[in-house]
Structure 1
């Protein structure tokens, strides 16, 4: 399935309440987790010490940082939608996020997106999205929440 194409504020308005799409699955690797730990200086053993996580951890393996999974949203959002006729996109906010389930190393995750609302802020399109990151084979999502983007259309 191709990306959803949106070219204007009015086209976003027609999509309110609808599921906009689902990203492809992405496997979260130990290498990604280690690099994220290095980038954020968060080397907690549940993320980076594979042996200790197997023997002492509650999950039997290392787990991805919650913020690592959150940081994958732009990549996954880009798989779902192509917004044309814009000068700029701004990440504006994150609301009501809840991390429900840990993402174990080598899990496959994807993002499901519903357009919650659209507003016109003096010519800038503000969209709010209901985001749900799913873990393959798990009924509970990794997280759920609302993210807000600002689109500056030409």
Structure 2
């Protein structure tokens, strides 16, 4: 069950909150291929399972940017925001991909609200620390500091 915040005051109160972890989500070859089609990134380590078997990862892996993009729907499992007129993805401070996500692996998101500060235009800016974990792996697939803005 996600944490729910209604309005800017409740969002501000979340500073320092560990939002927990999402459910596991499997990364399928179909999802990888669809992402490759959308981004025109058809590198064989992602889209050619036969060739990838002999590659550096022993099989196909998800694109790093696919893993990063999944933060958006996974984040919705952690935090439900109501009582605001608009929310925008303001950007990223830092992103790293410490380990690959093999096709067939399961990932989940861990999120922590680092800070929430007021911004002009009757809004708040939230900085979140996200970690995309891979089931059975000691190293995360992605660590990112994301910035979102929410307006009354």
Unpaired runs of 5+ in structure 1?
none
Per-residue CA distance 1:6-62 (angstroms, 9 max, x = gap): 01222222221221121111000000000100110000000001000002x111110
Please name the residue that 2:97 is paired with. Answer: 99
Please name the residue that 1:113 is paired with. Answer: 111
How far is the alpha carbon of 1:135 from its aligned partner? 0.3
How do residues 1-154 of structure 1 correspond to structure 2 at under 5 angstroms? 2-55=1-54, 57-122=55-120, 123-153=122-152
- Paired with 1:53 and 1:33, the residues of 2 have a C-alpha distance of 13
- Paired with 1:142 and 1:117, the residues of 2 have a C-alpha distance of 23
- Paired with 1:143 and 1:128, the residues of 2 have a C-alpha distance of 16
Normalised to the residue count of structure 1, the TM-score between the two structures is 0.95
Normalised to the residue count of structure 2, the TM-score between the two structures is 0.96
Number of aligned residue pairs: give it: 151
Unpaired runs of 5+ in structure 2?
none
What is the root-mean-square deviation of aligned Cα atoms in Å?
0.9
Bigger shift: 138-147 or 15-24? 15-24
